A and B are shown apart, each in its own frame.
Chain A
Amino acid sequence: MGKDGLEITLNIVKMLVIFLVMVQLVPVLVWLERRVSAFMQNRFGPNRVGPLGLIQLLADAVKFLFKEPFFPEKGMAVMYYGAPIMALIPGALALAAIPLGTPFHLEEADWNLFGFIPLGHHPAYDFILQGYDFGVGIVIVLGVSSLGAYSLLMAGWGSSNKYSLLGALRASAQMVSYELALGLSLVGILMVFNTFSFYDIVAQQNPANPLTFNFLGTVHTMPWWIPNWGIFYNPLGALIFFCASFAETNRLPFDLPEAEGELVAGFHTEYGGFALLMFYIGEYGHMMVASALMATFYFGGYTIPYVSNEAVATFVSNTHHFLGAFDLSIHSNWAAFVTSLCFFVSMLVKILFFLLIFIWVRWTLPRFRYDQLMDLGWKTMLPWALFNTCLTAVWLAISHKPV
């Protein structure tokens, strides 16, 4: 196992960990969704199984496993069984491409497990909190996450059901329409940050730097309490991205594919048991990707608000007793790890906040009619995203003096 072998193994292990975290977050999110929905509707929600009903989804998962397998009469087996598998893939791949913390530098050392089992000598290594890095950042995330439409189409086509087919067609038409607005809304913020790389984007939102606007060669610095976040550079783009990400994840108010009153359950009418759960994992995976992108581009990524990245690193490396065991000021590898962990927690809090907003909006806005939905996508959000791109371009061109 050479250097490449180590790299490949490490990448696969990281991707698996991210995938498992995603899968494990789904029960928590479903519980959160049901509890928050119940809270908003003045009900109790699931509260019997375990403390606060937390074990409910575990019980549900076991129940799903023991459901009767069903295959529709005229269905196509490859499509029908392939669709839930396909639903898992794009969300997991897209989430693995988003960095969840700063990369940490491991110094050259003799590594050992628990202090006495030697693991051999290792050269210095930069460990990234990201499944894989192709060096194209956002492009690969947009690319793989849009593969989600295939799973819906396969489900609808494979189950040979009028409702499923209509739901799948609606879903894919909606997803591709809003993908235009989603892709175009990011052009403005990419122009501001001038890079595809997530690390550079987050580094430019470092709270150490104040929010500054360049106008005709003079730099205007905003007061310290306004964080240096992307949303202040490109608020219109943030709004369009936020709306389009709801449509991309097929959530209310854009959940036409699953409109119960019209299509029973849309593309997953014929599904039950674990296959249905896999569609839900895919949907929540997409929500996590949308939240992570929202946090990375517009809300400072994994940085901690008002605390500069350097201050976090200094604070951690000056900690003398971490959990009573490690003197982080001596063990620089552990200090780097704990610093990264702090950023990871900050990212996780931001992602959970946006997921909560996803749930909140579900019970706030009514569903659109289908023609209204397509009109909103093509005739409102696409032109506004285009306007945002032009506005940002003109603003940047006239406000910066050439060097």
Chain B
Amino acid sequence: MSALLAFLIFVGILAAFGGFLIVLSSSLGPRPKPNPAKNMPYESGVAGTETNESRISVKFYLTAILFIIFDIEIIFMYPWAVSFMDFVKSGQGMYILGAMGIFILLFVVGLIWEVKSKALDWNN
């Protein structure tokens, strides 16, 4: 509990420190008159056409969705990994191996299906 409180206070301190640096650097620098050409987004000299509402490739959404699924599956393996040797030493090695084997099989089938359905292809 005390570790968690210290952790949260430290996050607050870091955010305050970062904010202080931003405020400090933006108050110390020179402030010349605003200039429309300078305020434009830097796009190699061409007048910027896109904003943050512009459309982006669906590949990025697919990657994000697939990441969430696979990451949760990997997180499930962590408790299994640290209790694996306890099962092996108590003679239940094959049971724990088989139980996780089914889970990993589903994982592999999912991965193969994704590769086959070209959800992970970026070159087209």
Contacts and interface: CB of A to CB of B under 8 A. Distances in A.
A128 to B, nearest CB: 10
Contacts of B86: 194
Interface string B60-91: 10011001001100110110011111101111
Interface in A1-55: 4, 7-8, 11-12, 15-16, 19
Contacts of A390: 101, 104
B10 A16 contact: yes
A4 B2 contact: yes
B6 A402 contact: no
A374 B122 contact: yes
B26 interface: yes
A179 B67 CA distance: 9
A278 B115 contact: no
A243 interface: no
A85 B15 contact: yes
A231 to B, nearest CB: 18
Contacts of B7: 11, 15, 93, 132, 134
Given A133-B3, A162-B50, A68 B31 contact: yes
Interface string A164-189: 11100100110011011001100110
Interface string A350-367: 000000000000000000
Nearest to A86: B18
B13 to A, nearest CB: 7
Given A11-B2, A68-B31, A191-B81, A278 B10 contact: no
A84 B50 CA distance: 23
A173 B13 contact: no
Nearest to B42: A269
Contacts of B49: 162
Given A16-B13, A72-B41, A85-B19, A191 B67 contact: no
Given A73-B39, A85-B19, A371 B64 contact: no
A139 B7 CA distance: 15
Nearest to A378: B120
Given A165-B56, A194-B84, A396-B85, A139 B24 contact: no
Contact of B52 (A165, A194, A195, A393): A165
Interface stretch (A59-67, A287-295, A303-311): A59-67
B122 A375 contact: yes
Given A4-B2, A89-B11, A397-B88, 12 more contacts: A8-B5, A15-B7, A73-B41, A88-B18, A162-B50, A165-B54, A184-B74, A188-B81, A374-B63, A379-B120, A389-B81, A402-B91
Interface of A: 4, 7-8, 11-12, 15-16, 19, 64-74, 76, 81, 84-86, 88-89, 92-93, 96, 131-134, 139, 157-166, 169, 172-173, 176-177, 179-180, 183-184, 187-188, 190-191, 194-196, 264, 269-270, 273-275, 278, 370-371, 374-375, 378-379, 382-383, 386, 389-390, 393-394, 396-398, 400, 402-403
In order of increasing CB-CB distance, the 8 nearest A-B pairs are: A85-B18, A11-B6, A402-B91, A274-B25, A371-B122, A69-B26, A161-B41, A176-B67
